[in-house]
Amino acid sequence: MPMEFPWAAGWLNGWALTTRSDWASLRHTLVSPEWSRSHPDFEQRMAAMDASPGPAFARRLHYQASEGHDSWQLLPSITAPTLVIHGSQDEVNPSANGRLLAGRIPGAELQLIDGARHSYFEEFRAVASQLVLKFLHRHPLPA
């Protein structure tokens, strides 16, 4: 059963069709406004993306690829140790999606980062890094 989130399709479609000024209105889904304001380097990177969002045809193709990709039936065949990290406040892909993925992959570990949005690796970099390092310590790569 594929995961379906109709609101996500709307968000992705909106992103695929955005103009430069529209893209800025989606930033709040990535990180909290408070964190963004206190990190000028992040604001500068976002401003650069706003100034040059890439060609509209490329955004549309990205959207079509995202909508057309479905590996739901393959998830139970994953045998590698798997860590699913998700933000509890993600508006792009709600945390329910992380639960579904982790539940579908045998032995997967789910780590929800409380308060994190879609770009948890920016705003909660230290937390996310520790989760990954601890996971890798428990599951070292074979020599």
pLDDT tens for 68-89 read: 889 999 999 999 999 999 999 9
Considering only 12-26, 53-67, 74-88, which range has the smallest mean pLDDT?
12-26
Q: Is the pLDDT of residue 18 over 90?
A: no
Q: Is 5 helix (H, G, I), strand (E, B) or coil?
A: coil
CATH of residue 48's domain is: 3.40.50.1820
pTM: 0.79
Q: Look up the domain containing 113 and give its range.
A: 6-138
31 part of a folded domain: yes
**Where is pLDDT greater, at 45 or 120?**
120
34 part of a folded domain: yes
Question: How many angstroms separate the CA atoms of 111 and 129, rounded?
Answer: 12
